């Protein structure tokens, strides 16, 4: 999408404007969610820390001009959390998944992704090394998928989730999303932190730049309410994260280069 586009949508939960032409493969029970070989571990370390991380940092902070607010909250959680934790973020661009590695350094971050991400021939192993955990397309893959999430959390790894599910490029508001993905922190009893990417105009000497400035805001941690039954705790956590994301986007995302309008029936 480009500056000045108007996009009409009907369903903010299910409409997808990512615009890729990938032929999606099936993610079944045979998908290798957790690999333990020594060669794999060594290659994974090199791919993530020595190759991908420096490139991602350059893309975000040099070429794309990201800035981060309240990074202290993330650093504190990375340092003090005994287990892993979950990051919930809005989904407004293909670079969103790159945020996790730079925000959680030096801990490796994992990201829940769609099956599209592991459907590009020859790249499945690489994106897995970089932290991708694909959401199952078949019911029989759910148990190994959940086991992989539990394994990463028990290893102390952060996991990023995009509860909006679909990319809406440059969207300045937070879309409604379901509570389903919040069952993981409730089940594992670990904290959650929210991340909101906002779009604003460049100022000062850079005000001539027409593309938006991306400012990423990080919340203070949220904790599951252990006094509630799991369904209620899941919904409460979802509502707290949604309220923070919506408030942050409403207050700080003020440069609309793509307009999303709801199409009425």
Give 125-183 pLDDT, tens digit per residue: 888 888 999 888 889 999 999 999 999 999 999 999 999 988 999 999 999 999 999 99
What per-residue confidence (pLDDT) applies to 120?
74
Give the contacts of 72 (CB within 8 A, at least 6 positions apart). none
What per-residue confidence (pLDDT) applies to 19?
63
For residues 162 and 188, the answer to whether their CB atoms sit within 8 Å is no
What per-residue confidence (pLDDT) applies to 45?
94
What per-residue confidence (pLDDT) applies to 20?
60
Convert the pLDDT of each residue in 6-22 to its tens digit. 888 888 888 878 766 66
Nearest CA to 196 out of 66, 80, 105 is that of 66
- Distances in Å between the Cα of 171 and the Cα atoms of 166, 196, 197, 205, 210 are 11, 11, 10, 25, 16
Kindly state the percentage of the chain with pLDDT values over 70.
Answer: 95
The CA radius of gyration of the chain, in Å to the nearest whole number, is: 18
On the question of pLDDT at 192 being above 90, the answer is: yes
Secondary element (H or E) of residue 71: helix 71-80
What per-residue confidence (pLDDT) applies to 1?
62
**2 confidence band (pLDDT: 50, 70, 90):** low
DSSP letter string over 118-139? G-STTTHHHHHHTTEEEPPSSG
What per-residue confidence (pLDDT) applies to 22?
62
- Distances in Å between the Cα of 29 and the Cα atoms of 26, 114, 144, 159 are 10, 16, 7, 21
Structure tokens at 3: 């500056």
If one compares 237 and 1, the residue with the highest pLDDT of the two is 237
| Dihedral angle computed from the Cα positions of residues 173, 261, 258 and 168, in that order, rounded to the nearest 10 degrees | 60
Distance between CA atoms of residues 131 and 222, nearest Å: 23
Nearest CA to 219 out of 200, 246, 179 is that of 246
Give the contacts of 183 (CB within 8 A, at least 6 positions apart). 230, 234
* 6-262 CATH, one of 1.10.3470, 3.40.1130, 2.60.40, 2.60.120: 3.40.1130
Kindly report the average pLDDT of the chain as a whole number.
Answer: 89
- Distances in Å between the Cα of 257 and the Cα atoms of 52, 162, 201, 214 are 29, 22, 10, 12
Structure tokens at 129: 């090394």
**Could you tell me the pTM of the whole model?**
0.91
3-class secondary-structure state, position 12: coil
**Residue located via tokens 């993981």:** 184
Structure tokens at 240: 């707290």
On the question of pLDDT at 199 being above 90, the answer is: yes
3-class secondary-structure state, position 29: coil
Helix boundaries (H) for 81-205: 99-103, 124-129, 142-154, 183-188
Distance between CA atoms of residues 90 and 239, nearest Å: 14
Structure tokens at 20: 């890729």
Convert the pLDDT of each residue in 30-39 to its tens digit. 888 888 889 9
Give the contacts of 21 (CB within 8 A, at least 6 positions apart). none
């Amino acid at each position: 999408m480009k500056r000045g586009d108007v996009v009409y949508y009907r369903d903010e939960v299910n409409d997808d404007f990512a615009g890729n032409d990938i032929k999606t493969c099936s993610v079944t029970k045979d998908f290798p969610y957790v690999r333990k070989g020594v060669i794999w571990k060594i290659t994974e370390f090199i791919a993530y820390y020595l190759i991908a991380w420096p490139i991602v940092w350059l893309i975000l902070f040099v070429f794309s001009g990201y800035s981060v607010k309240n990074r202290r909250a993330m650093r504190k959680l990375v340092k003090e959390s005994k287990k892993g934790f979950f990051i919930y973020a809005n989904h407004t661009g293909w670079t969103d998944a790159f945020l996790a590695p730079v925000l959680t350094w030096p801990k490796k971050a994992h990201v829940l992704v769609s099956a599209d991400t592991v459907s590009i021939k020859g790249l499945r192993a690489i994106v897995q090394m970089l932290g991708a955990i694909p959401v199952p397309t078949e019911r029989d893959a759910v148990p190994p998928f959940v086991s992989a999430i539990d394994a990463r959390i028990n290893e102390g790894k952060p996991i990023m989730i995009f509860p909006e599910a679909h990319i809406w490029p440059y969207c300045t508001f937070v879309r409604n999303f379901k509570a389903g993905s919040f069952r993981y922190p409730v089940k594992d009893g670990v904290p959650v932190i929210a991340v909101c990417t906002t779009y604003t105009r460049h100022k000062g000497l850079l005000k001539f730049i027409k593309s938006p400035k991306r400012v990423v805001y990080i919340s203070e941690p949220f904790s599951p309410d252990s006094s509630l039954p799991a369904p209620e705790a899941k919904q409460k956590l979802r509502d707290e994260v949604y309220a923070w994301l919506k408030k942050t986007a409403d207050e700080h995302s003020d440069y609309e280069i793509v307009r999303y309008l709801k199409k009425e029936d």
